[in-house]
């Protein structure tokens, strides 16, 4: 036998490879067609045949049912959806019953919040959000309560709980401010949440019971934080928006002191425009028309004298604000003397330069300040050159010291005025902040009765004292 020749690369091997590739491509039953392509294309539309589904009969009930399911008209799918809806409603109703049954405010708040968040289609979802806010308030989670109540107001702005919502948000904001002042780490606590709550009361309930209270508490807060500009605008908003509020009397005293705190001394007196807080800050072109430019002491004097005028018109107010009248009179007298001293120094300067007419004008202005009215008759003191008066006190140089007895119980000029906060009755659960024997907050006594001395939580507001005889 002749030996076989080894295969060598060449035309024969190339033809053999081409034949193998060709036979492999035809093994699928078609020219280059994947045998799984028909399966993969089932349900895909054939662009050559309208209303035709590739790989099946267009009238096939199974295909029609798939189209109906996509459109949501399949009777089987509708029944399933109805069953799912009923199941969800039953779950929400169970959560509601559990929330009503529990005696733990935290658990109740969590259950109500779960209803509002997870079952928004439930008929009581909005009410659940309100009750979540109530339960958070009862466990003194003030900002969490506000967050739930604000969300409830967004979905139900007209509801039967407006009065309770306003009071809870106001009380929560006020108490959150007080709690932020307690403890060793109080300096690290932020008051942003509390101020947001109080501002919301003034904005969302402008005709409510606590809008003016919220503005007053905000003003006191900003004044205590050494933000006199913001405090002044807040106080002015209260006076302008609520001229008949009981807080107007204390607000005028606080605003007067705020203007004095904002004062930076005699060289900077002509720097303030007492703008309206309801308007935006005017542009540079409109600033000259925004109002008269007055010094801080002048603006403060207006507020102290407005307080005195309002109190003197009402005999009851004269008795109620007796200590405050003494304070306002001392402040007004101090400011008049300081402004008169400033005018006298200016008069002495012009006299030393030989300008007698200018000196006389400033002397007359000084006399008007001392007379207590800027339009009072001029009384010029005759004689030689006037002695140099003491300098006008600036910020921290004399204004904070008021000519009033600091040992008196009412020496603080603008402590919160009496106000009956009343109970909160949003649900049937007992309120830990309410004394069940009186129906009033702990520490608040009915008229003519002493306040309880063993209250677990003392509310710093008091019920107004009865009017004096003869009123």
26 against 380, higher pLDDT:
26
Residue 471: inside a domain, yes or no? yes
179 against 5, higher pLDDT:
179
Nearest to 201 by CA among 260, 142, 246: 142
Residue 71: inside a domain, yes or no? no
Residue 390: inside a domain, yes or no? yes
- Note the pLDDT of residue 59: 56
Whether residues 401 and 315 fall in one domain: yes
Q: Give the confidence band of 306 by pLDDT, cuts at 50, 70, 90.
A: very high
294 forms beta bridges with 272
Query: 211-224 and 247-262 helices cross at what angle (nearest 10)?
Result: 30
Total of domains in the chain: 4
Alpha-carbon distance of 343 to 361, in angstroms, equals 9
Dihedral class, residue 57 (left if φ above 0, else alpha if ψ from -120 to 50, else beta): beta
Angle, CA 292 vertex, CA 286 and CA 297 arms, to 5°: 135
Domain boundary among 103, 124, 159: 159
Sign of CA dihedral 162, 153, 194, 211: negative
- Note the pLDDT of residue 269: 54
Report, as an integer, the average pLDDT of 185-206. 85
The pLDDT tens digits for 235-287 are: 999 999 999 998 999 999 999 998 888 776 665 554 444 555 555 554 555 54
Which pair of tokens denotes residue 71? Answer: 């459109």
Domain boundary among 395, 417, 439: 417
Which pair of tokens denotes residue 98? Answer: 């559990």
% of the chain residues with pLDDT over 70 = 55
Whether residues 125 and 235 fall in one domain: no
- Note the pLDDT of residue 435: 57
Q: What is the pTM of this model?
A: 0.62
Whether residues 184 and 135 fall in one domain: no
Whether residues 171 and 204 fall in one domain: yes
Domain boundary among 127, 159, 191: 159
Q: What residues make up the domain containing 176?
A: 161-245
**Torsion angle, alpha carbons of 418, 190, 275, 284, to 10:** 180
Q: Give the confidence band of 170 by pLDDT, cuts at 50, 70, 90.
A: very high
Whether residues 404 and 391 fall in one domain: yes
Alpha-carbon distance of 456 to 86, in angstroms, equals 46
- Note the pLDDT of residue 240: 92
Nearest to 191 by CA among 201, 183, 181: 181
The pLDDT tens digits for 385-437 are: 333 333 434 333 344 433 333 333 333 344 433 333 333 334 444 455 555 55
Long-range contacts of 62-67 (CB under 8 A, 24+ apart): none
Q: Cβ distance 212 to 166 under 8 Å? A: no
- Note the pLDDT of residue 438: 61
Q: Write down the mean pLDDT value for the chain.
A: 70
Alpha-carbon distance of 104 to 367, in angstroms, equals 70
- Note the pLDDT of residue 431: 52
Q: Cβ distance 337 to 368 under 8 Å? A: no
Whether 207 has a pLDDT exceeding 50, the answer reads yes
Whether residues 229 and 178 fall in one domain: yes
Whether residues 202 and 114 fall in one domain: no
Which pair of tokens denotes residue 296? Answer: 């801080």
Whether residues 363 and 407 fall in one domain: yes
Among all chains, which residue has been given the structure tokens 């020496």?
Answer: 411
Whether residues 154 and 174 fall in one domain: no
The pLDDT tens digits for 321-358 are: 888 888 898 889 888 888 888 888 888 888 888 888 88
Residues 6 or more apart whose Cβ sits within 8 Å of residue 332: 301, 304, 305, 308, 372
The pLDDT tens digits for 103-151 are: 888 888 899 999 988 898 888 888 999 999 999 999 899 999 999 999 9
Q: Cβ distance 263 to 283 under 8 Å? A: no
Residue 446: inside a domain, yes or no? yes
Alpha-helical (H) ranges within 180-227 are: 192-204, 211-224
Report, as an integer, the average pLDDT of 180-200. 79
Whether residues 141 and 185 fall in one domain: no
Whether 212 has a pLDDT exceeding 90, the answer reads yes
294 three-class SS: strand
Number of H helices, E strands in the chain: 16, 4
Residue 392: inside a domain, yes or no? yes
- Note the pLDDT of residue 278: 59
Residue 20: inside a domain, yes or no? no
Whether residues 381 and 413 fall in one domain: yes
The pLDDT tens digits for 33-86 are: 454 444 444 445 555 445 544 455 555 555 555 555 555 555 658 888 888 888
Q: Cβ distance 419 to 461 under 8 Å? A: yes
- Note the pLDDT of residue 184: 60
Residue 257: inside a domain, yes or no? no
Q: Cβ distance 267 to 281 under 8 Å? A: no
Q: Cβ distance 180 to 151 under 8 Å? A: no
- Note the pLDDT of residue 267: 58
Whether residues 294 and 413 fall in one domain: yes
Residue 28: inside a domain, yes or no? no
């Amino acid at each position: 036998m002749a030996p076989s020749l080894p295969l060598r690369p060449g035309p024969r091997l190339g033809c053999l490879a081409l034949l193998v590739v060709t036979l492999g491509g035809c093994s699928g039953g078609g020219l280059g067609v994947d045998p799984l392509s028909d399966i993969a294309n089932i349900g895909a539309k054939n662009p050559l045949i309208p209303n035709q589904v590739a790989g099946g009969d267009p009238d096939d009930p199974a295909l029609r049912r798939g189209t109906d399911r996509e459109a949501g008209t399949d009777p089987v799918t509708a029944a399933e959806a109805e069953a799912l809806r009923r199941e969800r409603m039953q779950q929400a109703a169970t959560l509601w019953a559990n929330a009503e049954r529990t005696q733990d405010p935290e658990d109740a708040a969590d259950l109500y919040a779960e209803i509002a968040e997870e079952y928004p289609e439930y008929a009581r979802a909005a009410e659940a959000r309100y009750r979540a806010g109530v339960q958070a308030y009862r466990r003194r989670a003030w900002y969490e309560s506000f967050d739930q109540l604000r969300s409830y107001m967004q979905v139900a702005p007209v509801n039967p709980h407006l009065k309770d919502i306003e009071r809870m948000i106001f009380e929560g904001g006020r108490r959150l401010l007080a709690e932020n002042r307690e403890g060793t780490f109080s300096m690290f606590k932020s008051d942003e949440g509390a101020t947001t709550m109080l501002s919301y009361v003034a904005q969302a309930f402008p005709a409510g019971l606590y809008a003016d209270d919220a503005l007053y508490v905000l003003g006191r807060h900003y004044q205590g934080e050494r933000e006199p500009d913001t405090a002044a605008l807040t106080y002015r908003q209260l006076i302008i928006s609520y001229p008949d509020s009981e807080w107007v009397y204390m607000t005028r005293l606080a605003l007067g002191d705020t203007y004095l705190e904002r004062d930076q001394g005699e060289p900077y007196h002509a720097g303030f425009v007492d703008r309206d807080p309801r308007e935006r800050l005017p542009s540079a072109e409109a600033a000259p028309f925004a109002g008269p430019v007055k010094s801080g002491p002048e603006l403060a004097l207006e507020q102290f004298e407005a307080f005195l005028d309002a109190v003197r018109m009402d005999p009851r107010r004269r008795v109620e604000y007796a200590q405050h009248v003494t304070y306002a009179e001392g402040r007004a007298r101090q400011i008049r003397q300081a402004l008169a001293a400033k005018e006298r120094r200016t008069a002495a300067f012009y006299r030393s330069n030989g300008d007698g007419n200018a000196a006389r004008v400033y002397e007359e202005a000084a006399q008007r300040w001392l007379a207590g009215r800027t339009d009072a008759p001029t009384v010029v003191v005759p004689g030689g050159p006037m002695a140099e008066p003491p300098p006008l006190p600036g910020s921290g140089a004399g204004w904070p010291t008021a000519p009033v007895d600091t040992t008196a119980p009412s020496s603080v000029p603008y402590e919160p005025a009496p106000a009956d906060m009343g109970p909160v009755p949003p649900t049937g659960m007992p309120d830990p902040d309410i004394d069940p024997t009186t129906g009033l907050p702990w520490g608040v006594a009915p008229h003519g009765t002493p306040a309880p001395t063993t209250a677990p939580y003392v509310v710093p507001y008091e019920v107004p004292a009865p009017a004096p005889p003869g009123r």
